[in-house]
Amino acid sequence: MSHTELRNPAHGDADNNRPYEHAPGLLAEAFAWLKAPVTPPDGTARQSALLRQGELTKPAGSLGRLETLAVDFAGWQGRSLPSLEHCMIRVFAGDHGIVAEGVSRFPQDVTAQMITNFIHGGAAISVLAQQWQADFAVVSLGTVVPVPAELAGHPRLRQLHLAAGTGNICDTEAMDALTLARALRAGADEIDSADTLQLFIGGEMGIGNTAVSAALASLLLDLSPEETVGRGTGVDDDGLSRKRIAVRRALDRHRAACDSPLEALRRLGGLEIAALTGAYLRAAQRGVPSLVDGFIATTAALLACRINPPVRDWLLFAHRSAEPGHRHLLEALGAEPLLDLQMRLGEGSGAAAALPLLQSALTVHAGMATFGEAAICAGSPTHD
């Protein structure tokens, strides 16, 4: 079911907020796809790639993660010599009511302004996407300030406007159930729009979304705001204190009712976080790996794994964010990121910065000679 088929009623409609398994027909159908089967990576292709690694002209294991990356991609693509030519990058954008609590240095207008910047090529992720000639677009899910009218119809912009941002989670729920369903489906629709896809990178934009992600991380991992809340856009000590207080208020209000990952996402999440969650789920269902960015993206990745656990086999983690909550999310997912550059920009920029490592891993895997081809003695496995 496409998000365009879903009605978007006003917040607070009683039918929209029923438990998902007991929801009325249309709503139950809207969430049913989340549990669709996820096929494991191809074990035979992985083994073939692993054997090839053992035959290349180098000591076994000497290329470290470059070796395991090649083996992972072999499993994901079902062939011993994988390649990386078709990468999709999507930035999902939406506003957050929690901004009213003074959790950000920037006003909410910046979300719509940054959408314009993405489209015009001025943002970090725009530059990196251009460098790698990725399939790049921005999905605007709902901003308080409208996106400029002159951008309507731009090929790199999808305008859905599911809501004028989310509710302030200190006082109310972030969204109703149908809005959540439509946001999840928006992410899935982007994956389904590609005929050929070998890697998905999801980015996000939304003033206030590190506060929302901290609330979700605290709830899902049973952590305090002191462990998950960081400076985000660079708030000072007073701003950090306000942010922790706001997250604590949100947790106090919603914790008891968050009896499932979906309900946690509905009550505490954001439109762009829901879309990222849907994209990770759908990519895994289609047999496409996702390169996960930083704190906010990893929050969505954890939600996707809680909703459909086999999704984890299709996730690769790009970098360790400077946001303190990210470490806890990575530990919960058993993830070892590729980079640690003290980045905290979001947008998918950390994931795009890791693309050269993936390209190098696959190029070396396919291009190196074997010991037999190079007529070099492989040596005894008992020697260093």
* Res 380 pLDDT > 60: no
The percentage of residues in the chain with a pLDDT greater than 90, rounded to a whole number, is: 89
Predicted pLDDT at 378:
75
Contact 188, 194 (CB under 8 A): no
**Span 11-22, average pLDDT:** 44
Predicted pLDDT at 245:
98
* Res 4 pLDDT > 50: no
pLDDT in tens, 132-151: 999 999 999 999 999 999 99
State the chain's mean pLDDT as an integer: 92
Predicted pLDDT at 20:
60
Strands (E), the chain: 87-94, 135-142, 157-159, 199-205, 290-292, 315-317
**Span 29-43, average pLDDT:** 95
Spell out the residues 6+ positions from residue 247 whose beta carbon is closer than 8 angstroms to its own: 211, 214, 215, 218, 225, 228, 229
**Span 60-71, average pLDDT:** 96
Contact 88, 200 (CB under 8 A): yes
Predicted pLDDT at 28:
79
* Res 106 pLDDT > 90: yes
Predicted pLDDT at 5:
37
Contact 43, 74 (CB under 8 A): no
When pLDDT is cut at 50, 70 and 90, the band that residue 25 belongs to is low
347 catalytic? Reply is yes
- Please tell me whether residue 339 adopts helix, strand or coil conformation: strand
* Res 24 pLDDT > 70: no
CA distance 219 to 28: 25
Predicted pLDDT at 27:
76
Active-site pick, 21, 263, 347, 373: 347
- The CATH T-level fold of domain 3-8+82-365 is Rossmann fold (3.40.50)
**Span 295-309, average pLDDT:** 98
pLDDT in tens, 154-176: 999 999 999 999 999 999 999 99
Domain residue ranges of the chain, discontinuous segments joined by +: 3-8+82-365
Predicted pLDDT at 241:
97
Residue 139 pairs with which residues in a beta bridge?
A: 92, 158
